[in-house]
Chains A and B, each alone.
Chain A
């Protein structure tokens, strides 16, 4: 139960990081969003046994964490929350794909294990990039950037509201859970039936709140469009940031740097 509390506080914490004054936080949000997208698309586009090619991409999260003054330990811990999903996606690969691809000394490693490792590596890269984007931009600003870049307004608005009310919903759920556990004894009262009622209750409360909210919006002249006074300006620094990162990503995508280095070294030894 306490976990719900703290995990909600954590989402907020990620967001407060965005208020720091560092060169990364000051960049135009659209630039950061685009860079992150390019990064994710290129990482995902590798073929399924790729490992060596992916490794150099770690430079992006590392540099961003360092420049953005972000707490690396915290972000890694948050990623563990999402890790089970990635593990489940890849866990059957070693069972299904058993033909041996490479030998490390006497031990043969099957294609399944390699693709599993590749999935985990991609998971690490893409999710850390997304976390870093939020931590150095702020969720709201990301939504606004989305909207400015032509994402449908209703989608951006939905995201904004989702983020605003997830805390209220979380608090409400915490209160319900607390009230239940205070009156549950010997494991009674914790069953699925009560849980069903609680979820229903939460839904009804949410609908009520949505209605009150809509009323409050109408009272202030809401006509279906959310207007914001926020102007973003692209500077030279922003462009430099975008071009140098995407340039590097593309380079890393088409040239397998570790392999080239390895070849070079073996060449030299010979």
Chain B
């Protein structure tokens, strides 16, 4: 289906203070792809995401979501198609109760009450948060908040999911559960993150941003092996692709010198 398409053409954006965040970004993401956007702090990842559903308006260039170019007229349609999960769930969960929050989007779409109810329960069920529906968001744990934030977007049935740092501030187990959850989605998924191990798990394709430009766009596997590229972009190989510190000690001296004397298993 063509409405899952995300296309950016020569996007440029500077913040009001004069700082240039995007300096000619172009890409095309097709239906069902899961794409990671990686890069240093301040490389423009979040700014790019905010362009994908019209939260920011580019100075030059265009964004196309599905069949529409992103303009004022198509904005409601685009926002319905592109579900955006923000980095800080406290920014996203503004209603007094979880249920109201997940219902916020569908109600604004003007859906009838029964349909809203069905969607809310479905979305909460999907992220495993059905038991939280009557709780106030400020009482939830970070992991629960994240799940609910995702549910609040899923309830609008977007075809494209855009996420900013979905695994930040999560404990390893919760992070793993989130990754397993995202694997089950067949939306087009766009994730901006520093968690390169998650990128290996979830995204087949990776865009590397550096100072507002795309310096590399290709299969995740190739990019993650490209030491020179990663280093130039303030990144590091995913931990999983780095050598075992016990078998292959770094050239740097290690405290306690292990020298392979004790057997260990992987």
Contact = CB atoms under 8 A, between A and B. Distances in A.
The finding on whether chains A and B are genuine partners in a shared complex, rather than unrelated, reads yes
Nearest to A144: B96
A contacts with B: majority SS: helix
A142 B153 CA distance: 27
Interface string A75-102: 0000000000000000000000000000
Interface residues of A, number: 29
Contacts of B90: 168, 209
Main secondary structure of the interface of B (DSSP, over half): helix
A19 B116 CA distance: 24
A213 B84 contact: no
B87 to A, nearest CB: 9
A227 B107 contact: yes
B55 A220 contact: no
Interface of B: 50, 53, 55, 76, 79-80, 83-84, 86, 88, 90-92, 94-97, 100, 103-105, 107-109, 113, 116-117, 134, 136-139, 152-153, 156
A4 to B, nearest CB: 15
A217 B94 contact: yes
B50 A221 contact: no
Interface stretch (A159-167, A179-187, A240-248): A159-167
Interface of A: 12, 15, 19, 139-140, 143, 160-161, 163-165, 167-168, 209, 212-213, 215-223, 226-229
A220 B152 contact: yes
A228 B185 CA distance: 28
Nearest to B153: A220
A239 B108 CA distance: 34
A221 B96 contact: no
29 contacts: A12-B138, A12-B139, A15-B136, A139-B96, A140-B96, A140-B97, A160-B95, A161-B94, A164-B95, A164-B96, A164-B137, A164-B138, A168-B138, A215-B55, A215-B86, A215-B91, A217-B94, A218-B55, A219-B53, A219-B84, A220-B79, A220-B104, A220-B105, A220-B156, A221-B108, A221-B109, A222-B108, A228-B103, A229-B100
B103 A229 contact: yes
Contacts, number: 80
Nearest to A220: B105
Contacts of A218: 55, 79
B98 to A, nearest CB: 12
Contact of A229 (B88, B94, B113, B156): B113
Contacts of A167: 138
Contacts of B152: 220
Contacts of B83: 219
Contacts of A227: 104, 107-108
Contact of A213 (B55, B91, B97, B107): B91
